[in-house]
Amino acid sequence: MTRKLLPEERIHPTIRDKVSDSHRDIVEEVEAAIAKHDVVVVGMKQNPYPRRARKALKAKGVEFHYLEYGSYLNTWRRRTALKMWTGWPTFPMVFVKGVLIGGADNLEQQLESGEVQKLIGGR
């Protein structure tokens, strides 16, 4: 899969730092969490899908780390940095062993098939 990204040479040199540093802290926080935890769910308040993902993991006895960033009414710019970084358009973003597996629907399918448990070592 090749995701379309604007090549660096098509970004004017005077704005490259702004592009690369825009909300870098949130991306680095998520990167640190996925390096430390087998399963990470990134979500937001008021959105039922992150709750659904956490509920599905709990039902299967899978430990996870949860990061929550704002709600529909705030923090959207910071969350946009995560969407741009991953290419995933919605929340939650579920990572297993550092790999983005999708959202709540994808997680539920992979829990039912045993794929998540297989990825984290048969738990």
What are the 10-residue block averages of pLDDT along the chain, 123 residues in total?
91 95 97 98 97 98 97 94 96 98 98 96 65
Cα Dmax for the chain: 50
Q: Where are the domains of the chain?
A: 8-119
With beta carbons less than 8 A apart as the criterion, state whether 66 and 92 touch: no
pLDDT of residue 95: 98
Q: What is the pTM of this model?
A: 0.93
How far apart CA 53 and CA 57 sit, in angstroms, is 6
The CATH class, in words, for 8-119 is: alpha beta
User: Strands, E, within the chain: which ranges?
Assistant: 39-43, 65-68, 93-96, 99-102
Instruction: Show Cβ contacts of residue 48 under 8 Å, excluding neighbours closer than 6 positions.
Output: none
Distances (CA, A) of 98 to 39, 72, 101, 116: 8, 26, 9, 12
